[in-house]
Structure 1
């Protein structure tokens, strides 16, 4: 796939889409002990994303994009610096607390869907709400509405093994959105989708961003997906640079 990125015309790199700061990284570093020399993946990285803003992060393989997403989602802890989501410092919370926070504020779409094989698409999408404490019927009603939005309504009762790769990815996107997160983290979210389905997912992202309900950070190698966002940042040598 072509790794070049075209910046979206008419959007200034430093212009936020909203006034509310949803995500902030301050001097964020991640260093791994690799024998005689440390491997510096992120080096005092700075990032701000506002509610309603969509930011694409591009970079070569091994540049640290997945490491960055894991830190933003509280799945990993920084070596130095901090990540704030909705003005909450993630790494200062314990595992149980950060799990509850993630359930309420962060949606994560992985490059591979990570759906539970024994559950239907409907059950997979409803599960985060049930974990939160919602009634099963209410959770499934909301899950069904989102599955309809991503074009999976007729397949709601099918298990992941009965779905195509693109259908599984759409179910994963619906699962990430069902909790109305403050921040959406997406790793190649349209990589397994055909053009028509990818367009419908982009339209749904546009709708959420326009209502300023959610901020997006999207890691991608797809220049068309990157160009669709408000800002394109390249991760290089541990730091983010505007394209």
Structure 2
């Protein structure tokens, strides 16, 4: 995690920027425009919620922001890096270092313990298992999972599994955190605990948060709420 001085310095920086972002899919003879000339800027420590009806393009937007999909036009910049100029291998390395993903379903590996799951991005990067697990334990402690670090996902509650997924996303100290319905699969009490954790992370890390959700309560808790409709973002 960044120290307070680094966070204050980073707070002046734009971590994520979209310029004229457009995504068009071809279905037979027909082109379907999902996103059109979309603009977005998110600064370090800022939390932006994106809401919209099913099929409005929220998942497409998240995939473009994370470099999992390529735009038809326009560009995405993360930490001053234009993703469009990176080849697939370079993009994968950049994602590993700068972009954290948290989904509605935790996608933890059942055969690995919490600490092994959290350490996985660092191991993929080539860091030694000992160093990766040491870093992962520190992050698990910050999300309240230190005592459960040696448990496998099947031995954890839904909220605990989501905390491990958040730790896995944070272990690389990302510039941007992308969250797709992070509380959508949780009961109200557990969702509230994840919300409190997100509040703490926003104040103690130097990354920018983009949260896609149908939950207006979760959205209203963020710094800004944007609505995705007809391929464009507008204040909600």
TM-score, with normalisation over the residues of structure 1?
0.87
Equivalence for 1:3: none
Aligned counterpart in structure 1 of residue 194 of structure 2, from 192, 196, 201? 201
Aligned counterpart in structure 2 of residue 233 of structure 1, from 216, 226, 230? 226
Equivalence for 1:89: 82
Tell me if the contact between 1:56 and 1:226 (Cα under 8 Å) persists in the aligned partners. Answer: yes
The 3-state SS of whatever aligns with 1:209 is helix
The 3-state SS of whatever aligns with 2:191 is helix
Tell me if the contact between 1:56 and 1:217 (Cα under 8 Å) persists in the aligned partners. Answer: yes
The 3-state SS of whatever aligns with 2:211 is strand
Residues 1:56 and 1:118: Cα distance change in structure 2 (over 3 Å): same
Aligned positions of 1:167-206 closer than 5 A:
167-206=160-199
Separation in structure 2 between the aligned mates of residue 200 and residue 147 of structure 1, nearest angstrom: 15
Separation in structure 2 between the aligned mates of residue 52 and residue 68 of structure 1, nearest angstrom: 20
Offset of residue 234 of structure 1: 0.3
Separation in structure 2 between the aligned mates of residue 166 and residue 135 of structure 1, nearest angstrom: 29
Moved more, 51-60 or 196-205: 196-205
The 3-state SS of whatever aligns with 1:145 is helix
Q: Deviations over 1:173-217 (max 9, x none)?
A: 110011111100000112233444434433333333334611000
Equivalence for 2:15: 22
Residue 161 (structure 1) aligned with residue 159 (structure 2): no
Aligned residues: 227
Equivalence for 1:60: 53
The 3-state SS of whatever aligns with 1:75 is coil
Residue 148 (structure 1) aligned with residue 141 (structure 2): yes
The 3-state SS of whatever aligns with 1:221 is coil
Tell me if the contact between 1:166 and 1:192 (Cα under 8 Å) persists in the aligned partners. Answer: no
RMSD: 1.8
The 3-state SS of whatever aligns with 1:29 is strand
Offset of residue 96 of structure 1: 1.2
Separation in structure 2 between the aligned mates of residue 38 and residue 104 of structure 1, nearest angstrom: 34
Equivalence for 2:4: none
Offset of residue 92 of structure 1: 1.5
Equivalence for 1:9: none
Residue 80 (structure 1) aligned with residue 77 (structure 2): no
For structure 1, the 5+ residue unaligned runs are: 1-16
Tell me if the contact between 1:150 and 1:200 (Cα under 8 Å) persists in the aligned partners. Answer: no
Whichever structure has more helix as a proportion of its residues is 2
Residues 1:139 and 1:197: Cα distance change in structure 2 (over 3 Å): farther
TM-score, with normalisation over the residues of structure 2?
0.89
Moved more, 71-80 or 32-41: 32-41
The 3-state SS of whatever aligns with 2:91 is helix
Aligned positions of 1:33-52 closer than 5 A:
33-52=26-45
Tell me if the contact between 1:18 and 1:212 (Cα under 8 Å) persists in the aligned partners. Answer: no
Aligned positions of 1:204-215 closer than 5 A:
204-211=197-204, 213-215=206-208
